[in-house]
Amino acid sequence: MKKHIPNAITCLNLFSGCLALYFAFEGQLVYTAYLVGIAAALDFMDGMIARVLGAYSEIGKQLDSLADMVSFGVVPGTIMFILLQRSGDSFLGFPIEIVAFYGFLITIFSALRLAKFNIDTRQTTSFIGLPTPACTIFVASLPLILEHGDLAHYEFILNPWVLVILITVLSYILVAELPLFALKFKNLSWQDNSVRFIFLILSVILVALLNFAAIPLIIVLYILLSIFKKTSNS
């Protein structure tokens, strides 16, 4: 019985992704963003519970990737598609209705990222390339910033140039040969986990100061600290 518990949580992740898509196409991106948060929490829980129960299985691994493809692949592409639709009438002379499909580049590269993760034996204790949940949390934070921010946030985020550049950069980082640390603590010593502790402390400070606007900065901080960790260990 216990071997099915992680898979059940993975299915809830998938269901959250499906609901997120429903609300996205209903134009309610704020609800989509909250459901992304729920999906990310469930994605973290299924792996943690599988470790605690010793309930690893090949079907669980495949199911996790398929669920992630929806929640952290199709959903962020859809969010970017809708944001681009709202960003104006045209981009570089092309109708925005056509340009909006560029948002699904994130979906394509998320699929590549997930496939690469499944066969890359180097990614057992850390990551190579930005994990799809982190990418999706970045994307999902944009509607929340629009909802709770001011006119400056609105004009910046709903600029087609900004969105196209974000889509391009995030897609690249998903599959880049960029070592990133995992938030897995084998112990609580500062020496072994200094970068993780610094990341968590700075993240809390950013959230306290900036609310939802802190989320993209936290993802950037995660990448920068990973680069610093790699450089200092070289």
Q: Which residues pair with 95 in a beta bridge?
A: 90
**CA 141, CA 32: separation in Å to the nearest integer?**
10
Q: Look at residue 234 in the predicted model and tell me its pLDDT.
A: 61
Structure confidence at residue 55 (pLDDT): 65
CB-based contacts of 189: which residues, under 8 Å, 6+ apart? none
Instruction: Look up tokens 């897995």; give the residue.
Output: 184
| Tokens 């909006």, located at residue | 100
Distance of CA 234 to the CA centre of its chain: 28
Show pLDDT as tens, one digit a residue, over the chain (234 residues). Answer: 677 788 899 999 999 999 999 999 999 999 999 999 999 999 999 878 877 777 677 787 889 999 999 999 999 999 999 999 999 999 999 999 999 999 999 999 999 999 998 888 787 678 899 999 999 999 999 999 999 988 889 999 999 999 999 999 999 999 999 999 988 777 778 877 889 999 999 999 999 999 999 999 999 999 999 998 777 776
Length reported for the chain:
234
Indicate yes or no: pTM above 0.75.
yes
Question: Which residues are CB-neighbours of 157 under 8 A, at least 6 positions away?
Answer: 83, 142, 145, 146, 163
Supply the pLDDT for residue 145.
Answer: 96
185 contacts 177 by C-beta, under 8 angstroms = no
> For residue 4, what is the DSSP state?
G
The answer to whether 132 and 43 have CB atoms below 8 angstroms apart is no
Domain positions in the chain are 2-177, 180-234
pLDDT for 4 equals 79
**Predicted local confidence at residue 24, as pLDDT:** 97
- Specify the CATH number for 2-177; select among 1.10.10.1400, 1.20.120.1760, 1.20.1250.20, 3.40.630.10: 1.20.120.1760
